Structure 1
């Protein structure tokens, strides 16, 4: 199985990172748990040190519990009062077919792309600049279906060796059920590329879309937060 823990970490980079034995403490202004959580891979780290790291930054301590998390850590965190948050599916596949809509693709996110993604996926009253910094922390391509200068559906693709990570898939509510997301996805995954993406377990509509494009569940992760 691919090392999805490392791929996701690379594709969604925190701009502050601190190593603690085999663990990585990640911080990105509090924007998304993915970039503001412990990645507990390798040698056992120190839970108290992790808690101090996030307390110093005014955040709850969160652990990303993916396929590579240390054995027994999840149960230990549960015993310490850490709640299970956001069970998530990692899906992978190779979509076929050409986009059915004209798709704009750029090497940098433009304001309209960011506005659409943030209006759909942003869970914070502020933090857009931190989100932009996360997105542009690695090389990526940005796609959108536009009408009258408005990005109706957007997505982000991160080339990672022989695969591409798909992130930031979002469609404006009024533009849904038109196949726009499928066009964005197909445009981001180039011919003969393998792709993966993540979606919350509760988002059954997104899962149905991705399965229709050839994606299947390959792994799972969740967060432990206190």
Structure 2
């Protein structure tokens, strides 16, 4: 049987769901143990939190932590940052969002494109050219190493690596300070929140607003100072993952722990919503952000590079991608 020491770990619970012919009927539930008390336990499942009274528990035990592959995490991140236009090239995704952000306007080369690799690369070029956008491919490494190598020597610029990091939500939510400034969580972004995002990204077209608000479960976090936002972040829950993005702290408010406060507050919301793991992207050269996320418990799962071919600007460097960023805590 489980106990309070198992909170935060992955468990399986066999519960009684009914009786037939004087025999109990059972159902097994997998997830992360959120709460354990004298009257019952709560498990974060893929469909949300499930409360089970103790008198309905037939058996329960801790099980090994799950392991996620690169393809699964990249698809989750794509759903959490959903481009308004998505097309398919075999298993590959082609995404467009009016040019707003790198990930929103790039191909995700996971799986079989349904044709030879050189032909697939040409198809990506044509698809983005038809939309007046630079051809861009986000290549997760080492999964898409063959794609990355094939683009060498073809005129495609290569961005610095971006790290994809994860952390257990139970650990993040447990460290939420009780005495920090209030964090406002909104299901839709306020005009003030949008102004911060637009300033960071050089504008906000309608496609950008669609991307930000696209997930079914999303929250826009804000800390105010003198009626103005001094710290903002976005969190979206997809398939049990909290995807964190656009963490921003105003220069005068930095080094006060606000980035960590936003992250932990969104983690608490996501955990209550049944999520189990936090996911974010941070640039390899952003050492301050990496130090912050390391303190919060994030570790690197894999990396990706953005390959860009802008045939209207020969030799130009790719525009910056849109990882979580992070500002000094």
Contact 1:104/1:143 (CA < 8 Å) preserved in 2?
yes
Give TM-score, length-normalised by structure 1: 0.92
Computing the radius of gyration from Cα coordinates, the structure with the larger value is 2
In structure 2, relative to structure 1, the CA distance for the partners of 1:48 and 1:147 (3 Å cut) is same
**Residue of 79, 86, 91 corresponding to 2:153:** 79
Contact 1:116/1:153 (CA < 8 Å) preserved in 2?
no
**Residue of 131, 136, 141 corresponding to 2:208:** 131
1:51 aligns with 2:120: no
1:212 aligns with 2:295: yes
Contact 2:197/2:204 (CA < 8 Å) preserved in 1?
no
Which residue of the partner structure matches residue 110 of structure 1? 190
**How far apart are 1:198 and its partner, in Å?**
0.7
Distance across 2 between alignment mates of 1:70 and 1:175: 40
Contact 1:18/1:26 (CA < 8 Å) preserved in 2?
yes
**How far apart are 1:178 and its partner, in Å?**
1.1
Which sections of structure 2, spanning at least 5 residues, go unmatched?
A: 1-67, 310-329
How big is the alpha-carbon RMSD for the aligned residues of Structure 1 and Structure 2? 1.7
User: Over residues 75-123 of structure 1, what are the superposed CA-to-partner deviations in whole Å (9 max), with x where a residue is unaligned?
Assistant: 111131212114101111132411422100111111111112332x31x
Contact 2:124/2:135 (CA < 8 Å) preserved in 1?
yes
Which residue of the partner structure matches residue 35 of structure 1? 104
Contact 2:76/2:241 (CA < 8 Å) preserved in 1?
no
Which residue of the partner structure matches residue 12 of structure 1? 81
**How far apart are 1:149 and its partner, in Å?**
1.8
**How far apart are 1:148 and its partner, in Å?**
2.2
Distance across 1 between alignment mates of 2:108 and 2:249: 30
Structure 2 counterpart SS, 1:51: helix
Contact 2:235/2:266 (CA < 8 Å) preserved in 1?
yes
Matches within 5 A, 1:91-170: 91-94=165-168, 95=172, 96-99=174-177, 100-119=180-199, 121-122=200-201, 124=202, 126-139=203-216, 140-170=218-248
Distance across 2 between alignment mates of 1:167 and 1:30: 18
User: Over residues 29-50 of structure 1, what are the superposed CA-to-partner deviations in whole Å (9 max), with x where a residue is unaligned?
Assistant: 0001101011111113511111
In structure 2, relative to structure 1, the CA distance for the partners of 1:40 and 1:68 (3 Å cut) is farther
Distance across 2 between alignment mates of 1:86 and 1:14: 23
Contact 1:41/1:68 (CA < 8 Å) preserved in 2?
no
In structure 2, relative to structure 1, the CA distance for the partners of 1:68 and 1:107 (3 Å cut) is farther
Which residue of the partner structure matches residue 307 of structure 2? 224
Distance across 2 between alignment mates of 1:67 and 1:108: 34
In structure 2, relative to structure 1, the CA distance for the partners of 1:199 and 1:6 (3 Å cut) is same
Give TM-score, length-normalised by structure 2: 0.64
Higher relative contact order (CA 8 A, sep 6+): 1
In structure 2, relative to structure 1, the CA distance for the partners of 1:68 and 1:13 (3 Å cut) is farther
